[in-house]
Amino acid sequence: MAPVKHHTKTGFCNTETLYKPNFKSHLLTLKRYLTTPRIHARPQGSLPQISLSADTLNQQRQGALYRLGHSTVLIHLDGKWLLTDPVFSDRASPVTWAGPKRFQPAPIQIKELPFIDAIIISHDHYDHLDKASVIALAPKAGRFICPLRVGNHLRRWGISSQQIIELDWWQHHNMNGIELTACPSQHYSGRTLRDKDQTLWASWSIKGVEASLYFSGDSGYFGGFKEIGSRLGPFDFTLMETGAYDEAWADVHMQPEQSLQAHRDLRGKVMVPIHNATFDLALHPWFDPLQRIDALAKSHHVPLMTPMLGEPLLFTQTPSQVNWWYPQSPKPAHSVQALKTGT
């Protein structure tokens, strides 16, 4: 069997850019985070959102998606319920008393969610894989579909092996007609300083009759987006990481210009920015990702939808924009930049 480029003897790796942060680099990042003056790090008050309930969702008949916060998206596709990277806890952290705290509770509690046919996990970082949420969801979930070895975490937390499906890049699983494919991304993994890159990271193609979606997880910009678009595109909606960026980790998190270019590479039709408006994970103002991607999309004539948390986005809906974050943010003062792909 030919060697797989992203598999190594010591773990997994990216195919284009090696990303090797160490203890020193983590300390430098922490020092910057603690000492840099912050402006608009968190919203000044409650963000507008639409509360959801079991009754509301039980009445849903059309294909739709709901942003629940950060990279947690509830998807109703072909009569099935899917959930990406479920994080409902107050903090994206290994402990409950410290770490990034969410701006406000999710628009729905776990107990109000319908039966989830598949929970899709992109990688094992704390803002994407939350132990408490996984344990609470297990009794009302059919399958946990995740990249290679992420299932080891789930099994340690008491999830049955029969509920877990682990896939390598380009492998797929058919769930009653919905085709789920693990796709490459450019990131890294690990929940401690000792388990770096021991589990795989992935993005996901989600193809049903009602719609075709792409879920980015976390990624830096790389040539893999064009390959995914060529092999699996076009996509009706791309759920694209747009937030928590910094030049210090540009290899593994995209700037908004790169997120928009990745959407184009994927042959996406409508872009939905995720990975924002929930946790303070970078040094930019909380609203900067939404403000910048909105200006870029308008400049480059890319259909964009930025629903409030909890707001239903119907697959048949005509793209429209309500810039709900502007009451707390200044109007854009910068000119729109040219798309920056980093290649």
Say whether pTM exceeds 0.85.
Answer: yes
pLDDT tens figures, 159-215: 999 999 999 999 999 999 999 999 999 999 999 988 999 999 999 999 999 999 999
Kindly state the average pLDDT of the residues 93-114. 96
Q: Other CB atoms closer than 10 Å to residue 60's CB: what's the count?
A: 17
Q: Is the pLDDT of residue 316 over 60?
A: yes
* Beta-carbon contacts of residue 31 (< 8 Å; ≥ 6 apart): none
Q: Which of 96-100, 219-223, 287-291, 334-338 has the lowest mean pLDDT?
A: 334-338
Q: Is the pLDDT of residue 339 over 60?
A: no
Q: What is the sign, positive or negative, of the torsion defined by CA atoms of 60, 81, 321, 326?
A: positive
The architecture (CATH level 2) of 54-328 comes to 4-Layer Sandwich (3.60)
Residue 59: is it exposed, middle or buried by C-beta count within 10 angstroms (0-12/13-18/19+)? exposed
pLDDT tens figures, 253-302: 999 999 999 999 999 999 999 999 999 999 999 999 999 999 999 999 99
Q: How far apart are CA 25 and CA 157, in angstroms?
A: 30
Domain boundaries, the chain: 54-328
Predicted pLDDT at 329? 67
